[in-house]
């Protein structure tokens, strides 16, 4: 499951008789470190105290020596000691489990975490779908969907789709959707070219001053026109100049008539 990021350790851990006995053994410090590592591994596995590579593959002593970065003889000594003291249980098929895991770790609390994380993953997948990302259905993508896909790749490098389209709608009294694929593709293309949020707002401001009150041009205050390949030209347009050569038929180098729609 690998969706729990913490385990509980009692502040009285070192008052326990078993721990005090271990402290008198050779390599006591290393053995205690291995014990804490086992507890952490059980928390990561999040399977009621069991520790395994997968549900069908138990950890071997050699595997634990590798992932704990400790020598094999010391790991064997530690496991033998923990089993002798009843701190771990080892099944016939070699699966290791922390004894009395439910006593030391709040199973109710862990279940609550699982449910919270399930809801987080569901909301994350919904968000990815809204943003047009591939939604993973494989339940084996753990670590809370790889930390919610690194917070959705920092919200896709923080492309402010919502703010840009909201600014356009407020300026034009229209109702374009930020989630429309065409609109997002246009904004993303310009964003990847290095343009900023202020650049988008400036283009909207420039073209609104020029076109908003013009019945023939008002309809072209839309994402596919403003955020298309003419974006940089609009951005660098001198305000107050439309670039028109014939006010009735030409705007920004485009010729319009009643029968044709310009291709921006």
Average pLDDT over residues 234-250: 57
Range of the domain at 144: 107-155
Segment 66-77, tens digit of pLDDT = 999 999 999 999
Same domain membership, residue 243 and residue 189: yes
Per the DSSP assignment, residues forming a β-bridge with 90 are: 96
Segment 100-126, tens digit of pLDDT = 887 666 555 555 555 666 676 667 566
Segment 7-57, tens digit of pLDDT = 778 888 899 999 999 999 989 999 999 999 999 998 888 888 899 998 889
Same domain membership, residue 17 and residue 100: yes
CATH value at residue 28: 1.10.10.10
Average pLDDT, the chain: 79
Segment 146-198, tens digit of pLDDT = 555 555 555 455 788 999 999 999 999 999 998 899 999 999 999 989 999 99
62: pLDDT strictly greater than 60: yes
Same domain membership, residue 211 and residue 148: no
Question: Would you give the DSSP letter of residue 257?
Answer: B
Same domain membership, residue 166 and residue 117: no
Same domain membership, residue 86 and residue 19: yes
What does the alpha-carbon distance between residue 233 and residue 162 come to, in Å, rounded to a whole number?
23
- The answer to whether residue 261 sits within a structural domain is no
Q: Which residues of 5-33 are buried (b: 16+ CB within 10 A; e: fewer)?
A: eebeeeeeeeeeeebeebeeeebeebbbb
Determine the pLDDT at residue 44: 85
What does the alpha-carbon distance between residue 124 and residue 205 come to, in Å, rounded to a whole number?
34
139: pLDDT strictly greater than 60: no
Same domain membership, residue 251 and residue 165: yes
Same domain membership, residue 233 and residue 170: yes
Same domain membership, residue 34 and residue 56: yes
Contact (Cβ atoms closer than 8 angstroms) between residue 185 and residue 227? no
Domain tally, the chain: 3
């Amino acid at each position: 499951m690998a969706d729990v990021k913490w385990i509980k350790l009692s502040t009285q851990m070192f008052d326990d008789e078993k721990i005090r006995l271990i402290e008198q053994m050779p390599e006591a410090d290393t053995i205690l470190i291995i014990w804490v590592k086992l507890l952490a591994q059980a928390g990561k596995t999040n399977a009621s105290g069991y520790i395994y590579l997968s549900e069908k593959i138990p950890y071997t002593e050699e595997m634990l020596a590798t992932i704990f970065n400790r020598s094999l003889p010391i790991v064997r000594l530690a496991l033998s000691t923990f089993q002798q003291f009843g701190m771990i249980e080892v099944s016939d098929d070699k699966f290791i489990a922390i004894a009395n895991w439910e006593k030391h770790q709040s199973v109710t609390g862990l279940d609550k975490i699982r449910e919270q994380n399930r809801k987080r993953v569901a909301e994350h997948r919904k968000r990815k779908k809204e943003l047009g990302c591939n939604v993973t259905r494989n339940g084996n993508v753990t670590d809370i969907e790889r930390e919610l896909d690194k917070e959705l790749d920092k919200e896709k490098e923080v492309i402010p789709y919502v703010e840009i389209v909201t600014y356009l709608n407020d300026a034009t009294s229209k109702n374009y959707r930020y989630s429309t694929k065409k609109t997002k593709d246009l904004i993303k293309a310009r964003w990847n070219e290095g343009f900023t949020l202020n650049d988008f707002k400036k283009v909207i401001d420039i073209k609104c001053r020029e076109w908003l009150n013009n019945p023939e041009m008002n309809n072209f205050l839309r994402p596919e026109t403003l955020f298309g390949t003419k974006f940089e030209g609009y951005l660098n347009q001198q305000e107050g100049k439309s670039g028109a050569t014939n006010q009735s038929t030409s705007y920004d180098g485009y010729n319009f008539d009643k029968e044709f729609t310009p291709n921006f």
